[in-house]
Amino acid sequence: MRKVGSYVTWVVWLTVCLSLLVVPAANAYIDPGSGSLIFQVVVGAAMAASLGVRVFWKRIIGFFRRNH
Amino acid sequence: MPPPPGDGRAAAGGTASGPAARVGGSFRDPAGFVFTRGGVLYRQVNARGAADYDLLHSSGLYDTLVGDGLLVAVEEVDVEPAAADPHRILRPERVPFISYPYEWCPGQLRDAALLTLRVQTLAMDAGMSLRDASAFNVQFLRGRPVLIDTLSFEALVEGRPWVAYRQFCQHFLAPLALASAVDVRLLGLLRTHLDGIPLDLAAALLPARTKLTPGLALHLHSHARSQQRHADAGREAAGRGAADLAGSGRFSTKAFRGLVESLRTAVTKQTWEPSPSAWRDYYAAKQSYTDAALAAKEELVGKLLADLSPRTVWDLGANTGRFSRLAAAAGATVVSLELDPSAVEVSWQQVRERSETSVLPLVADLANPSPALGWACAERDSLTARGPADAVLALALVHHLAIAGNVPLPDVARWFSQLCHALVVEWVPKDDPMVGRLLASREDIFDDYTAAAFEAALCEHFDIERREPVPGSSRVLYLLRRR
């Protein structure tokens, strides 16, 4: 079981690393830190979802405020 | 008043040609740099930064940000460039006093963080993004935080994470969390860590309960673990382009906006309440003055300031800035320096609530003022190098330096002479209750702490113009001009 877990981790890690290689150039002059970049990619879906929840929540609040 | 020499920050004129001096902290970004010539501050945009600079204008972002007072205004000028490959030369509006994050109270750091995130949100609306999120890029102008780096923007690359995420967490979120959850004195770490507090250090210092608060768990604890995990493993990939990480849609714009919003929430939750410290209650408790005495001292200081009509004033040991505001009312731009972060926080809240434009409260230990820091000791100026001010107010201060800090009076007088052209200083004699308090728990080794010795020390550098007893106390106020 542990072996399977570490295999999955390795595949995820390799996928993220490969994603780093297919990127257009930009004008960055500070070191963004590979750990920081990878971390953002990993939590990206959760961030997008949380934004969705926030927007949804605001709409609900807004709906009730309008009705009062 | 004579114009302040030295860096000429307040200079409005100057010559468009002549020798250019690159500003010490402006060398990292190949897109451009800041220099002075003839006392005027300029920013050169290099050819390398041309596309992003032009996009800043053509996207309407510059107008939006400057219109909202979020970005310092610049004027494109036709002057000789200071280095090869120029695209434009800009003359930015000058900030009267450059302050550094290690001199800010938590409220100021928080407002600077929220400014940075607001700018990032507006930049994304305009198809751009911040290339850096350094707290040093924020200054306080007319009582509000403002981004001073016109070249911090780049075109938003779809799918790429935020290159400044690490820097934002190190410069803003980590120190704010430490001040909020551990101790405000940890903001002093920003003085030793000029690129922000390393996240592994912040994570180690934060109490375990912060692992249960979503914002800090994510942006500090997990983020720090990710950095450590990929410190070596990521190097190989980083060498092949992680700095330009994108990937088709791997980090969607929605995820990016979610990240910025999540950071904003995390910053907002890092609150810090000033403690009801003895310093802050100084006036309320009226320990050394009666009401009438305080009013008389105010009137006296007001008169001395009116005589001087200084453009710039440094109020040393300013407490919550009562006398700083007196100087501001007399027309000066005031830097209000105080040791106690609680007093500075209270003063900053007043600046915000009353929309004051001329008072900048800062945290400063005057027995150990900000030194020159960074590369070649030239990136961040010492406090002294940022002067001299037209006038210095040193009220109820000398006994703290001389008795609590053991600084000999001649040294105190010499330091004052380096800071200003004119000095309003209060002599607090040994029989004053506040001095008694300082001597209560220690031996009195201060035989030279006398009014005569103080005057003699001052006269080495200054001419005494006025000597006024403070009614209702045994204190004396002096007005002095530097020779």
Q: What is the ipTM of this complex?
A: 0.84
A57 vs B: CB within 8 A: no
Task: State residue A24's pLDDT score.
Answer: 44
CA distances to B310, B332, B388, B470 from B454, in Å: 24, 27, 22, 17
B141 and B87 within one domain: no
Q: What is the bridge-based pairing of β-strands B32-37 and B40-46?
A: antiparallel
Considering just the CA atoms, what is the radius of gyration of chain B in Å? Answer: 24
Q: Note whether B237 contacts A43, CB cutoff 8 Å.
A: no
Domain count, chain B: 3
B131 and B65 within one domain: no
B133 and B48 within one domain: no
Domain with B192 in it: 101-232+247-268
- Say if residues B474 and B420 touch (Cβ distance below 8 Å): no
What is the C-alpha separation between B376 and B358, in angstroms, rounded? 32
Which among B47, B71, B92 is the end of a domain?
A: B92
The DSSP call for residue A19 is H
- Provide the CB-side half-sphere exposure for B471 (13 A, CA): 12
Q: How far is A46 from chain B (nearest CA, A)?
A: 8
Nearest CA in chain A to B168: A32
- Say if residues B318 and B424 touch (Cβ distance below 8 Å): no
Size of interface A-B (CB pairs under 8 A): 156
Alpha helices in B8-164 (DSSP H): 50-58, 61-67, 106-125
A67 vs B: CB within 8 A: no
Task: State residue A68's pLDDT score.
Answer: 67
B190 and B328 within one domain: no
- Please check whether residue B299 lies inside any domain of the structure: yes
What is the C-alpha separation between B331 and B308, in angstroms, rounded? 11
Task: State residue B284's pLDDT score.
Answer: 61
How many other C-beta atoms can be found within 10 angstroms of the C-beta atom of residue B228? 13
Read off the CATH number of the domain in which B443 is found: 3.40.50.150
B406 and B309 within one domain: yes
What is the C-alpha separation between B188 and B482, in angstroms, rounded? 33
Considering only the beta carbons, identify the residue of A20, A31, A40 that sits closest to B259.
Answer: A40
How many other C-beta atoms can be found within 10 angstroms of the C-beta atom of residue A61? 10
Q: Note whether B247 contacts A23, CB cutoff 8 Å.
A: yes
Q: Which residues pair with B43 in a beta bridge?
A: B34, B90
Q: Note whether B258 contacts A39, CB cutoff 8 Å.
A: no
- Please check whether residue B4 lies inside any domain of the structure: no
- Please check whether residue B429 lies inside any domain of the structure: yes
B201 and B77 within one domain: no
CA distances to A2, B9, B333 from B309, in Å: 76, 19, 11
* Per-residue pLDDT of chain B in tens (483 residues, 90 and over written 9): 433 333 333 334 445 667 999 998 899 999 999 999 999 999 999 999 999 999 999 999 999 999 999 999 999 999 999 999 999 999 999 999 999 999 999 999 999 999 999 999 999 999 999 999 999 999 999 999 999 999 999 999 999 999 999 999 999 999 999 999 999 999 999 999 999 999 999 999 999 999 999 999 999 999 999 999 988 755 555 544 554 554 445 899 999 999 999 999 999 999 999 987 645 565 565 455 666 778 889 999 999 999 899 999 999 999 999 999 999 999 999 999 999 999 999 999 999 999 999 999 999 999 999 999 999 999 999 999 999 999 999 999 999 999 999 999 999 999 999 999 999 999 999 999 999 999 999 999 999 999 999 999 999 999 999 999 998 889 999 999 999
The DSSP call for residue B425 is E
- Please check whether residue B404 lies inside any domain of the structure: yes
List own/partner pairs for B115-120 with CB under 8 A and 24 or more apart: B115/B70, B115/B145, B115/B146, B115/B147, B116/B147, B116/B168, B116/B172, B117/B168, B117/B260, B117/B263, B117/B264, B117/B267, B118/B70, B119/B65, B119/B70, B119/B71, B119/B147, B120/B162, B120/B260
What is the C-alpha separation between B297 and B303, in angstroms, rounded? 10
Question: With b meaning 16 or more CB within 10 Å and e meaning fewer, what string describes B199-220?
Answer: bbbbbebbeeebeebebbebbb
B-chain residues within 8 Å CB-CB of A10? none
pLDDT band at A3 (very low <50, low <70, confident <90, very high): low
Q: Which residues pair with A48 in a beta bridge?
A: none
Task: State residue B4's pLDDT score.
Answer: 37
B290 and B428 within one domain: yes
B114 and B253 within one domain: yes
Q: How far is B178 from chain A (nearest CA, A)?
A: 20
CA torsion angle B53 B58 B61 B64 (round to 10): 130
What is the C-alpha separation between A64 and B368, in angstroms, rounded? 55
Which among B61, B92, B123 is the end of a domain?
A: B92
What is the C-alpha separation between B59 and B132, in angstroms, rounded? 19
- Please check whether residue B452 lies inside any domain of the structure: yes
B252 and B307 within one domain: no
Position B234: which residue type? Answer: G
- Please check whether residue B152 lies inside any domain of the structure: yes
User: Quick check: bond before B341 cis, omega within 30?
Assistant: no
What is the C-alpha separation between B221 and B203, in angstroms, rounded? 5
B57 and B156 within one domain: no
- The three-state secondary structure class of B373 is strand
B123 and B78 within one domain: no
- Please check whether residue B1 lies inside any domain of the structure: no
How many other C-beta atoms can be found within 10 angstroms of the C-beta atom of residue B55? 18
pTM, rounded to two decimals: 0.89
Q: Which residues pair with B90 in a beta bridge?
A: B43, B76
- Please check whether residue B3 lies inside any domain of the structure: no
Considering only the beta carbons, identify the residue of B31, B223, B254 that sits closest to A27.
Answer: B31
B35 and B144 within one domain: no
Which among B92, B113, B141 is the end of a domain?
A: B92
Q: Note whether B237 contacts A54, CB cutoff 8 Å.
A: no
Q: What is the pLDDT of residues A14-63, one digit of tens each?
A: 555 555 544 444 567 889 999 999 999 999 999 999 888 888 888 888 88
Q: B86: which 2 tokens?
A: 């120029």
Task: State residue B290's pLDDT score.
Answer: 61
